[in-house]
A and B are shown apart, each in its own frame.
Chain A
Amino acid sequence: MPDLSTAGAESLAAWLLLGSAVLVVVLVVAVLVIRVLRWVADAADQRRSTWAREVLFRVLEGDDVRAPWRRARRHALAATAARLSTKLRGADRATLATWLTQEGFRQHAVEMMHSQVALTRARGARMFVACLADRETRPLLDLLGDRDVRVRSAAARALGECGIDTAVPFLVRAAQSDEAPLPVSVAAMSIVHAAPRSARSLGLAWQSDRPEVAAMAAEVAGFLHLTDARVPLEHAVAHDDPAVADAAAWSLARLGDPRSATPIEKRLRKHDLPVLTQRSLHGAYAELHHVRLEP
């Protein structure tokens, strides 16, 4: 007589094995299907992007081109135009912006910027910039106070890409905000792209209660070689926060004014400096004075 419990266990094991095999097959098929679908979608995106580029190049040539009404193609045109406009300036950018506005993309961007969905608002900000040939940045400045950080960041990047230096004080204010702060790294990159010609644009940042904002101002001033930042940078070298002092020392070295060696030397005489700050200050001093102080 067979042992019923052993037969039952074998049967269960066989079913489990079969179930596992079926599951593996289903998973493999699912992965393959997803890959194929993704490949098809990417290829379609690529085709639409190539088509959109050709349309926009014709627009830049001054040809009379009408935008299609099909959603996917309009979306491809909008995305390609948003990308392309950041790489162009002068008459090319103005031509592109005028055409996008005439074809209703600007109105659509403004509607997107009022969407309930954060990612749509962020995409709207990017699209809006492509339609900007003038200096009407108010809708983007409003988005710097958006409740979603992704939207605030997209608006800041868009403002930077516009290259409008009057946006810089707004970017600084957004970075300092308590309720809806803009990430300092995003603010820094946007300010670098906006390329202010004077350190006065960074005004509020120098006196910020937040050391990371003051450090950003110091770093940006050096990166952009704002020579009128020398005095605020010399004050920033004496800042209690090592990050601010480091950034200020680096920037003073970049500006290369030998007068800045004195405040650096004064700061080095303090004995409670962190090692990294001491190194930054020594490096900047050596750069400015061509002399290395004894540590």
Chain B
Amino acid sequence: MTKGVSVARVVVIEDDPDISLLVAHKLRAGGHDVEVESDGRAGLAAVVASTPDLVILDWMMPRMNGIEVCEAMRTDPTLASIPVLMLTAKALEVDLERAYAVGVDEYIQKPFSTRELMVRVTRLLHA
């Protein structure tokens, strides 16, 4: 388990199985309880059902994109306080601005480092 962090429930919403399974593997190795969904709508349903401690969210996904998922979470009082970490290939300044504007807490660009990801996850779970 990651030092100093208790078991957390994390929902990973990502349509690329290489990434979602790697992230889930790292989080489970850190002692967390992980649920993986591969599209925005299913991911939002999982978030509503389990009210996790953290959501890791891709931007470009089928059915509902990450920005829409985050917006929906922020307008729901029961989900509004759940931290969101966006993991995306979108790398422009305007994308970053838009993500933070809709309420994303952390933003990591792909290609990514699992070490950086775990540092930010720990930080968000401590906040």
Question: Could you tell me which A residues sit within 8 Å of B by CB distance?
Answer: 53, 57, 60-61, 80, 83-84, 86-93, 163, 195, 225
Query: Given the complex, which residues of B lie within 8 Å of A86, measured CB to CB?
Result: 111
Contact A89 B112, CB 8 Å, known A57-B22, A57-B25, A84-B18: yes
Question: Could you tell me which B residues sit within 8 Å of A by CB distance?
Answer: 16-19, 21-22, 25, 29, 91-93, 110-116
Query: Given the complex, which residues of B lie within 8 Å of A61, measured CB to CB?
Result: 29
A84:B22 contact, CB within 8 angstroms: yes
In the bound complex, CA of A157 to CA of B117 (Å)? 26
| New A-B pairs, 7, CB < 8 Å, besides A86-B111, A92-B114 | A61-B29, A87-B16, A89-B111, A91-B115, A92-B113, A195-B91, A225-B93
B111:A88 contact, CB within 8 angstroms: yes
B18:A60 contact, CB within 8 angstroms: no
Contact A53 B113, CB 8 Å, known A61-B29, A225-B93: no
Query: Given the complex, which residues of B lie within 8 Å of A83, measured CB to CB?
Result: 18
Q: Can you list 21 A-B pairs, Cβ within 8 angstroms, ordered by A?
A: A53-B18, A53-B21, A57-B22, A57-B25, A60-B22, A80-B18, A84-B22, A86-B111, A87-B16, A87-B19, A87-B110, A87-B111, A87-B112, A88-B111, A88-B112, A88-B114, A90-B113, A90-B115, A92-B115, A93-B111, A163-B111
Report the minimum CB–CB distance from A4 to chain B (whole Å): 68
A87:B92 contact, CB within 8 angstroms: no
Which 6 residue pairs are nearest across A and B when measured between Cβ atoms?
A90-B113, A89-B111, A57-B25, A84-B18, A87-B111, A92-B114
Query: Given the complex, which residues of A lie within 8 Å of B111, measured CB to CB?
Result: 86-89, 93, 163
Report the minimum CB–CB distance from B19 to chain A (whole Å): 6
In the bound complex, CA of A60 to CA of B116 (Å)? 14
In the bound complex, CA of A87 to CA of B19 (Å)? 8
B29:A90 contact, CB within 8 angstroms: no
In the bound complex, CA of A89 to CA of B116 (Å)? 10
| CB nearest neighbor in B for A84 | B18
Query: Given the complex, which residues of A lie within 8 Å of B18, measured CB to CB?
Result: 53, 80, 83-84, 87
Report the minimum CB–CB distance from B101 to chain A (whole Å): 19
| CB nearest neighbor in A for B21 | A53
Report the minimum CB–CB distance from A232 to chain B (whole Å): 21
In the bound complex, CA of A53 to CA of B93 (Å)? 33
Query: Given the complex, which residues of B lie within 8 Å of A53, measured CB to CB?
Result: 17-18, 21-22
A88:B92 contact, CB within 8 angstroms: no
B21:A89 contact, CB within 8 angstroms: no
| CB nearest neighbor in B for A80 | B18
In the bound complex, CA of A57 to CA of B21 (Å)? 9
Q: Kindly name the residue among A83, A89, A91 whose own CB sees the greatest number of chain B CB atoms within 10 A.
A: A89
Report the minimum CB–CB distance from B12 to chain A (whole Å): 14
Query: Given the complex, which residues of B lie within 8 Å of A90, measured CB to CB?
Result: 113, 115-116
Query: Given the complex, which residues of B lie within 8 Å of A60, measured CB to CB?
Result: 22, 114
In the bound complex, CA of A53 to CA of B17 (Å)? 10
Query: Given the complex, which residues of A lie within 8 Å of B91, measured CB to CB?
Result: 195
Query: Given the complex, which residues of B lie within 8 Å of A163, measured CB to CB?
Result: 111
Report the minimum CB–CB distance from A52 to chain B (whole Å): 10
Q: Which of B22, B25, B92 contacts A225 (CB 8 A)?
A: B92
